[in-house]
């Protein structure tokens, strides 16, 4: 999917960040397209609707975001609400705004804004309930700035900056309570990074840790049951040449070192990773999983052929995985975002089609709620930025 995506903005825009320092948009700013996008985001805004999927394997609309956005983050708070922050709006601007989804009412409520707009940043729920956002693209380059959201006060405040600016990096909360940030793009857009650093919530400061063996951006960082972090996928841009590595590596917090582990069968530009209940790591859009015991990768059964590999994967309370954000692959479809979604059944290591979303989308967020339903929000579709949100019932 990553090489055929002509109408979605993910691959084109993220690659251009580090080549040209300017976000390449797929949004057409002509009056016709702008009015169409406004129509979409307007007509789909029903803030008072509380939707509940009627039956298993279906999607139902719920309240829409107050601000249409894509490339944002979504974080499940300890209260059960979902914090959406940042991203890119209909005009291609970096957003500083944030809002909260209340599963009980099905409504979104604006909350405090970040000190600056950003996308391609990391958002991590800390043990104390605060949310740490770090780095990302701020419109003039990659950021080192970080800030914290306090759910009790609905406010943001700055915290220590990273040791260096980075965009599209990987982040994971360690068992120690520290946050690991690794790789990403460098400030001037010429190279990807191999450096890594740790955030200490107690001191509000960052310090460097061991560097990656392979520089990469957009990789998937997954905390394993043994406390180590698996980093896989992504891309490398060096000396004007881009590669999609198949390599993977492990970070050991005890030694602060990275070691190379088994390689994937194929590289994935933007991997959708999920830690399964048996502690394997599934990369949904590669149809592969990593076994920490054997340190090897194995294939799942093939994905359904109705659409190309999904952007987002969410572990369900059943132990299965919902994959959304596909691109159509049949003849004449134009490789545009699709409503098709896939379901991975862990017990059979197989995929099947599941319910269709109400709106085709990529670059959205997908969040498992305490109820067991999945909240899908925002994203972009054929040059339109979406405010709509919907719920999937397993």
User: Is 3 among the domain residues?
Assistant: no
- The answer, yes or no, to whether residue 330 has pLDDT greater than 90, is no
241, 212 contact by CB (below 8 A): no
Range of the domain at 152: 10-393
- The answer, yes or no, to whether residue 326 has pLDDT greater than 70, is yes
CA distances (Å), 386 to each of 90, 164, 277, 379, in order?
Answer: 8, 33, 32, 5
User: Is 291 among the domain residues?
Assistant: yes
* Average pLDDT over every residue of 226-240: 95
- The answer, yes or no, to whether residue 29 has pLDDT greater than 90, is no
Q: What's the token pair of residue 95?
A: 């957003």
- Taking phi over 0 as left and psi of -120 to 50 as alpha, with beta for the rest, 242 belongs to beta
pLDDT classification of 140: cutoffs 50, 70, 90: confident
pLDDT classification of 337: cutoffs 50, 70, 90: very high
pLDDT value for 304: 87
pTM flag (> 0.75): yes
CA distances (Å), 220 to each of 115, 217, 285, in order?
Answer: 27, 9, 12
In tens, the pLDDT along 262-287 reads: 999 999 999 999 999 999 999 999 99
Q: Indicate the SS3 state at residue 77.
A: coil
Nearest to 394 by CA among 354, 346, 337: 354
* Average pLDDT over every residue of 237-261: 96
pLDDT value for 189: 66
In tens, the pLDDT along 352-387 reads: 999 999 999 999 999 999 999 999 999 999 889 999
Mean pLDDT of the chain: 88
Domain at 40, CATH number: 2.120.10.80
User: Is 230 among the domain residues?
Assistant: yes
User: Is 276 among the domain residues?
Assistant: yes
Domains contained in the chain, number: 1
Helix ranges, the chain (H): 10-20, 31-43
pLDDT value for 321: 98
User: Is 4 among the domain residues?
Assistant: no
Neighbours of 269 (CB within 10 A): 20
Q: Which has the minimum average pLDDT: 61-70, 95-104, 136-145, 246-255?
A: 136-145
DSSP letters for 265-308:
SS--SS--EEE-TTS-EEEGGGTEEEETTTTEEEE-SPPPSSBP
Q: What's the token pair of residue 9?
A: 């903005």
């Amino acid at each position: 999917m990553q090489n055929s995506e002509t109408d979605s903005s993910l691959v084109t825009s993220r690659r251009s960040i580090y080549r040209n320092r300017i976000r390449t948009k797929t949004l057409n700013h002509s009056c016709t397209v702008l009015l169409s996008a406004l129509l979409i985001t307007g007509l789909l805004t029903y803030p008072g609707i509380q939707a509940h999927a009627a039956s298993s394997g279906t999607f139902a609309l719920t309240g829409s975001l107050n601000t249409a956005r894509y490339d944002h983050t979504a974080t499940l708070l300890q209260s059960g609400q979902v914090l959406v922050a940042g991203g890119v709006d209909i005009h291609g601007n970096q957003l500083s705004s944030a809002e909260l989804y209340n599963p009980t009412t099905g409504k979104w409520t604006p909350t405090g804004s970040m000190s600056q707009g950003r996308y391609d940043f990391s958002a991590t729920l800390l043990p104390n309930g605060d949310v740490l956002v770090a780095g990302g693209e701020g419109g003039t380059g990659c950021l080192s700035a970080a800030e914290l959201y306090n759910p009790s006060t609905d406010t943001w405040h700055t915290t220590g900056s990273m040791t260096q600016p980075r965009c599209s990096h990987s982040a994971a909360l360690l068992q120690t309570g520290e946050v690991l940030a690794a790789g990403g793009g460098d400030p001037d857009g010429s190279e990807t990074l191999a450096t890594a650093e740790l955030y200490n919530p107690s001191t509000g400061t960052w310090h460097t840790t061991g560097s990656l063996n392979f520089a990469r951006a957009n990789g998937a960082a997954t905390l394993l049951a043994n406390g180590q972090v698996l980093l896989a996928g992504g891309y490398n841009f060096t000396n004007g040449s881009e590669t999609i590595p198949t390599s993977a590596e492990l970070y050991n917090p005890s030694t602060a070192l990275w070691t190379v582990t088994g390689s994937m069968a194929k590289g994935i530009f933007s991997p959708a990773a999920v830690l399964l209940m048996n502690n394997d790591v599934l990369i949904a859009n590669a149809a592969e999983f990593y076994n920490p015991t054997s340190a090897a990768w194995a294939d799942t059964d093939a994905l359904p052929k109705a659409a190309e590999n999904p952007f987002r994967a969410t572990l369900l309370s059943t132990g299965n995985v919902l994959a959304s954000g596909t691109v159509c692959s049949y003849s004449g479809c134009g490789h545009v975002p699709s409503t098709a979604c896939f379901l991975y059944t862990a017990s059979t290591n197989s995929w099947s089609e599941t319910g269709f979303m109400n709106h085709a989308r990529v670059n959205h967020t997908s969040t498992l709620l305490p109820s067991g339903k999945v909240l899908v929000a925002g994203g972009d579709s054929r040059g339109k930025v979406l405010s709509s949100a919907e719920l999937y019932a397993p």
